[in-house]
Chains A and B, each alone.
Chain A
């Protein structure tokens, strides 16, 4: 089970030359959790404490004298090559490299070569820290890093001092008077001067004298120019002593003092609460917990558990981030869905209103015994059937009217039916039983076959008979009727047929018979 407080709470062991203090940092507040003496007894107590707080995050902030700073230049290389060069330089410089760090001061061009300036830093006596680091290791604690106050000074100076090339940050810590020289935002030198309890006036004068001494020393180191702009000195005065400090720390041509009250400095770095009796080290402790620098002294092996812990958090954070991204996408789609549903509801409402309005209006229609749709269907289909029906009376009337104009023609019969014109063209009229109308329209027609005889004309007068039948047929092909095929004559005068003659002296009894085929298309 993940303890959420572990995610936000960090413990910092403030390491001084005498006693060591364990602080807990959570939510912008510092609490003093324990105090250990610097001897073996204190280390034992620390081990006991670690056993009671397994899984906690720890940092070590060393505020001790004897911190070595040495500037070197290495060839400008990157990656594992740089690591190897730095490790070699640290090994050359320090006998014990367990707590050694190389701070980059930027690049410098040296002839045709490009070099990197490094500030090598370590403690002259690392053995005093070793039992405490061993205790952390043995307890399986997650050590995020071993820092010294000077490593955190650039971050504090950035909050307190005006941005300038060189700043000297002076704080009165529990361990003593800490002076850190920062150039271009990077640490160049630091020293710790032990102090004893003294009145504010004396402390301020001590600050002034020590600052003058350090400035002189930096000049001798050529870290400061002999002539030039005054050096900015940012002094954090103990609580309530700012006025006294300002009276004593008078700026001159070499030094320009800027005094800050401790409370104001805490506010500047958003440190809300500190334990009673804590001095300016609280500022560094808070920065260690909340804004630790990348450079620190602990080795990779010492920080392994912290790295695994970070990896655990990173993996979970990646999962949470992925879920958040998915939730964002899902949420946007959900919002889109809501919008679509709202639109659908509006459309349904409009459709419903239209349907209701339709129902309201149709309710005023005449009352029927059936539904409107059934009524429509019945009438439309009935009309379709009726349109494909016809009255034989019309055809009979038409034939009768034409016949009146041809007294020499006498009819034998009229065959009326509903069928297809092609039936007449093919010359194969269907059997009466099969004489059904076409199922669908388009081809339906009234078919009329008019059979008759031509009287008062000699049977051998082919020309006369043909002429009379042709005229009769032409007269019938009127009033919407058309000849479906050529009239059927008593003889065949076409080239495809056989023409026969039977010319005798006597007159035959039968008049020549013919048939006229008419058709009228139905709609």
Chain B
């Protein structure tokens, strides 16, 4: 069947209308498909969030116990001033005090500049662990002097004292009788660790 130009002209507008309708229909389907895909993503996200919240709620008793237990440790760290900025003056005071109390002989120490040991990210702010290395040279009458010194140092607080190295050697000096002569020397490296909680309320 053939059409005259006039007939084709008459068919043009209906054909355009049909095309527009079909195009609109296709757009409708595409739009609806997009909405459906978006709704599916929203549903998946909502399901995930609900599951996480549900699981967290189910663990609440365990978490409460964990929080209480960790709170004890945290508060203890705070009491010992391990939590907070380092206190170098307190360290010096404590070492001097221990030396005096224990009647220790020669003692030399040198605290290096602070370095970042580790930093753990948290929502409220990072928790930074700092360490300052202390080199200690101690003259001893007996090895017990070192043990007592380290015990007193830990008890003084203001840092967590992590001994990295300790070498005890004989001095080889003979007793003169005129004074107390150290028989041993201790050479130790101790990390003085402090914690800065950036999320803590000031």
Chain B residues near A343 (CB, 8 Å)? 43, 46
Contact of A374 among B77, B127, B166 (CB under 8 A): B127
Residue pair B25, A371 in contact (C-beta under 8 Å): no
- Please name all residues of chain A whose beta carbon is closer than 8 Å to the beta carbon of B26 when the two chains form the complex: 326
Evaluate contact between A333 and B70: CB separation under 8 angstroms.
Answer: no
Q: Is A291 in the interface zone, CB < 8 Å from B?
A: no
- B25 contacts A378, C-beta separation under 8 Å: no
Q: Is B47 an interface residue (CB 8 A)?
A: yes
Bound state CA distance, A232 and B202, in angstroms?
A: 110
- The interface bits of chain A over 282-293 (1 if a CB of B lies within 8 angstroms of the residue's CB, else 0) are 000000000000
Q: Which of A311, A334, A374, A380 contacts B199 (CB 8 A)?
A: A374
Q: Which of A110-118, A219-227, A362-370 contacts B (4 or more CB under 8 A)?
A: A362-370
Question: Contact between A369 and B201 (Cβ–Cβ < 8 Å)?
Answer: yes
Interfacial chain A residues near B150, Cβ < 8 Å? 391-393
Q: How far, in Å, is B13 (CB) from chain A's closest CB?
A: 8
A374-403 CB contacts (< 8 Å) to partner B: 374-383, 385-386, 389-393, 396-397, 400
CA distance A361 to B57 in the complex (A): 9
In the complex, which residues of chain B have a beta carbon less than 8 angstroms from the beta carbon of A374? 122-125, 127, 197-200
Is B164 within 8 A of A350, CB to CB?
no
List B contacts of A325 (CB < 8 A): 25
Interface pick from B59-67, B85-93, B97-105, B173-181:
B59-67
Contact A375 B170 (CB under 8 A): no
Which of A327, A340, A436 meets B164, CB within 8 Å? A436
Show 29 residue pairs from A and B whose CB-CB distance is below 8 angstroms, ordered by the A residue. A308-B3, A308-B11, A312-B11, A315-B11, A315-B14, A315-B18, A319-B22, A320-B18, A322-B25, A323-B28, A333-B35, A337-B39, A344-B45, A344-B46, A347-B46, A348-B49, A350-B54, A362-B60, A365-B67, A370-B200, A371-B123, A378-B197, A382-B82, A382-B195, A412-B169, A412-B170, A413-B167, A415-B167, A416-B168
- For the complex of A and B, list the 8 residue pairs with the smallest distance between their C-beta atoms, beginning with the closest: A326-B25, A319-B18, A351-B50, A354-B53, A347-B46, A319-B21, A340-B39, A333-B32
Interface, chain B (partner A; CB < 8 A): 3, 7, 10-11, 13-15, 17-22, 24-26, 28-29, 31-33, 35-36, 38-40, 42-43, 45-47, 49-50, 52-54, 56-57, 60, 63-64, 66-68, 70-71, 73-74, 77-78, 82-83, 117-118, 120, 122-125, 127, 129, 143, 146-147, 150-151, 160, 162-170, 187-189, 193, 195, 197-201
